[in-house]
């Protein structure tokens, strides 16, 4: 029976394409998928945070330590000796392209447009037949609306599309209120195919755990930001009111001490125990 189909402008011998998973991390498992009849293969994802973390580490270890002393510089580690996440990913893409005959779809996972999306171009140059974008953002920011979250998807897609000419697939999470509208907007932004079959229940525990940790970290940072913003506002208010009503005249040092005390009280995780100062402030 002829099962030939067209996906992403590629003619595939059948519609069975294993989705992103660690099976593409090893040549033997990838080869077994091909031998079992897979007509194309989606690689595991390169994660935005991995790329960013690598960039930060490279900055810290290679560039921030440059003190402009030639002899000392020769002892610094060289970036070329330390392959980054993107180097490793591209190397695996090369290996898969060399060993397999089926098309290989690279996969990027991220939630912000920006420098890391430049890597889409490197993946195209390295031979990826198409690129899948796995954008999965659960917002923990109270000021971020659903509309803004949707816009992120479009912005990431646009940033990537600017860089490459190979077809782009977007892997959608099932959590959109208006999937049809989202699909329409993604199509207008240049996506070739939309996959809407990601279900986080299907994630292996290690993936679910990593995603959960990421979401928890974002939630904690967002909550902390909110607390600090509120506390700074209250301190500001306290200083202004004391000043406006001529209640007390504080010099800069006393002001700094009061700000520090108030921030500890307002931002602290635990209730603080006040100590009442019954003497002069200047002893």
Ligand X SMILES: Cc1cc2nc3c(=O)[nH]c(=O)nc-3n(C[C@H](O)[C@H](O)[C@H](O)COP(=O)(O)O)c2cc1C
* Binding residues for ligand X (CB under 6 A): 19-22, 44-45, 107, 109, 134, 171, 197-199, 202-204, 207
What is the closest distance, in whole angstroms, from the C-beta atom of residue 35 to ligand X in the complex?
20
Cβ-based nearer residue to ligand X, 176 or 203: 203
What is the C-alpha to C-alpha distance for residues 271 and 35, in angstroms, rounded to an integer?
Answer: 63
What is the closest distance, in whole angstroms, from the C-beta atom of residue 204 to ligand X in the complex?
3
What is the closest distance, in whole angstroms, from the C-beta atom of residue 19 to ligand X in the complex?
3
Cβ-based nearer residue to ligand X, 141 or 195: 195
What is the C-alpha to C-alpha distance for residues 179 and 124, in angstroms, rounded to an integer?
Answer: 29
What is the closest distance, in whole angstroms, from the C-beta atom of residue 247 to ligand X in the complex?
59
What is the C-alpha to C-alpha distance for residues 265 and 231, in angstroms, rounded to an integer?
Answer: 9
Cβ-based nearer residue to ligand X, 131 or 231: 131
What is the SS3 assignment for 239? helix
Cβ-based nearer residue to ligand X, 92 or 109: 109
What is the C-alpha to C-alpha distance for residues 227 and 239, in angstroms, rounded to an integer?
Answer: 18
What is the C-alpha to C-alpha distance for residues 163 and 165, in angstroms, rounded to an integer?
Answer: 7
**With left for phi above 0 and alpha for psi between -120 and 50, is residue 23 left, alpha or beta?**
alpha
Q: What are phi and psi of 252, to 5 degrees?
A: -60, -40
């Amino acid at each position: 029976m002829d099962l030939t189909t067209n996906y992403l402008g590629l003619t595939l011998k059948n519609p069975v394409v294993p989705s992103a998973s660690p099976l593409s991390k090893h040549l033997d498992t990838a080869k077994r998928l091909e031998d079992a009849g897979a007509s194309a293969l989606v690689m595991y994802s390169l994660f935005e945070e991995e790329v960013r973390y690598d960039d930060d580490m490279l900055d810290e270890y290679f560039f921030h330590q440059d003190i402009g002393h030639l002899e000392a510089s020769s002892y610094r580690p060289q970036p070329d000796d330390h392959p980054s996440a993107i180097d490793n990913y591209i190397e695996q893409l090369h290996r898969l392209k060399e060993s397999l005959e089926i098309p290989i779809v690279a996969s990027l996972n991220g939630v912000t447009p920006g420098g890391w999306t430049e890597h889409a171009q490197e993946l195209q140059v390295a031979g990826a037949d198409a690129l899948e974008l796995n954008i999965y953002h659960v917002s923990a920011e109270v000021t971020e609306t659903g509309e803004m979250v949707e816009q992120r998807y479009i912005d990431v897609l646009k940033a990537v599309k600017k860089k490459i000419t190979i077809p782009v697939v977007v892997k959608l999470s099932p959590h959109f209120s208006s999937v049809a509208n989202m699909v329409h907007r993604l199509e207008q932004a240049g996506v070739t195919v939309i996959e809407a079959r990601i279900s986080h229940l299907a994630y292996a525990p290690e993936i679910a755990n990593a995603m959960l940790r990421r979401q928890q970290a974002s939630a904690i940072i967002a909550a902390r930001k909110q607390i600090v913003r509120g506390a700074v506002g209250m301190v500001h208010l306290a200083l202004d009111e004391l000043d406006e009503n001529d209640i007390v005249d504080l010099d800069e040092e006393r002001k700094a001490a009061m700000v520090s005390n108030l921030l500890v009280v307002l931002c602290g995780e635990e209730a603080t125990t006040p100590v009442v100062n019954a003497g002069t402030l200047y002893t």
